[in-house]
């Protein structure tokens, strides 16, 4: 069965659906790489909706033809690299495209629609918009399942980090970057 997908800007009214999508996505697609205890602890702040992205109009959703939201992701001009509104140590100050990397943020896909090019669709839109305002480099904090997408899209990973979670747990993330190629003259 072929599904028609539409990409659009996320709006504040999408927040409840996005919270559910994010939790469902990481519980299902992240179960290979993370324990259920890590996932539930990460949903308390490391994963979730960042409404600043929605307000900045740099967060997108992918809908099916019937209007179901099955993917989300965005980019940011702000220094915060990852996490929801509830994450401590947020820095909402502005990045300078001349010296900073745009942030690629919060990509989650419904497991029933995984591996159909939706992550790539979101990523291409985010990179194009960030480049359109002057960014030539992108940075992100990849989940282990997300790392595979970003690698095939040209991102290079740094050493994995252990991000602390509530309850004395931690979760492995991989900082990644990508620089735009300069046009051949």
First to last CA, the chain: 44
Domain of 100 in residue numbering reads as 5-179
Please report whether residue 185 resides in a domain. Answer: no
Please report whether residue 184 resides in a domain. Answer: no
**What pLDDT is stored for residue 88 in this prediction?**
67
Please report whether residue 108 resides in a domain. Answer: yes
Instruction: Enumerate residue ranges in the chain where pLDDT < 50.
Output: 185
**What pLDDT is stored for residue 176 in this prediction?**
98
* d(C-alpha 54, C-alpha 71), whole Å: 14
Please report whether residue 98 resides in a domain. Answer: yes
Please report whether residue 95 resides in a domain. Answer: yes
pLDDT digits (tens, 9 = 90+) for 43-58: 998 999 999 999 999 9
Q: How far is CA 144 from CA 6, 53, 72, in A?
A: 26, 22, 17
* d(C-alpha 57, C-alpha 94), whole Å: 14
Please report whether residue 20 resides in a domain. Answer: yes
* d(C-alpha 86, C-alpha 44), whole Å: 7
**What pLDDT is stored for residue 92 in this prediction?**
86
Domain with 29 in it: what CATH number? 3.40.630.30
**What pLDDT is stored for residue 59 in this prediction?**
98
Q: What is the torsion angle, in degrees rounded to the nearest 10, for the CA atoms of residue 50, residue 51, residue 57 and residue 59? A: 30
Please report whether residue 74 resides in a domain. Answer: yes
Please report whether residue 68 resides in a domain. Answer: yes
**DSSP label of 178:** E
β pairing state of 102-109 and 69-76:
antiparallel
* Domains held by the chain: number: 1
């Amino acid at each position: 069965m072929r599904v028609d997908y539409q990409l659009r800007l996320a709006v504040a009214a999408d927040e409840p659906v996005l919270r559910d999508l994010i939790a469902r996505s990481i519980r299902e697609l992240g179960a290979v790489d993370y324990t259920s205890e890590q996932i539930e602890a990460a949903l308390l702040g490391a994963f979730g909706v960042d409404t600043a992205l929605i307000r900045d109009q740099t967060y997108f959703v992918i809908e099916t033809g019937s209007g179901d939201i099955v993917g989300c992701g965005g980019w940011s001009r702000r220094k915060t690299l990852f996490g929801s509104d509830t994450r401590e140590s947020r820095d909402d100050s502005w990045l300078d495209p001349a010296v900073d990397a745009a942030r690629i943020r919060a990509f989650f896909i419904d497991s029933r629609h995984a591996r159909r090019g939706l992550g790539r669709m979101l990523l291409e839109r985010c990179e194009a918009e960030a480049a359109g305002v002057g960014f030539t480099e992108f940075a992100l904090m990849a989940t282990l399942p997300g790392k595979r997408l970003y690698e095939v899209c040209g991102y290079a990973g740094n050493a994995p980090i252990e991000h602390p979670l509530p309850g004395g747990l931690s979760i492995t993330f991989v900082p990644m970057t990508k620089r735009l190629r300069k046009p051949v003259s």
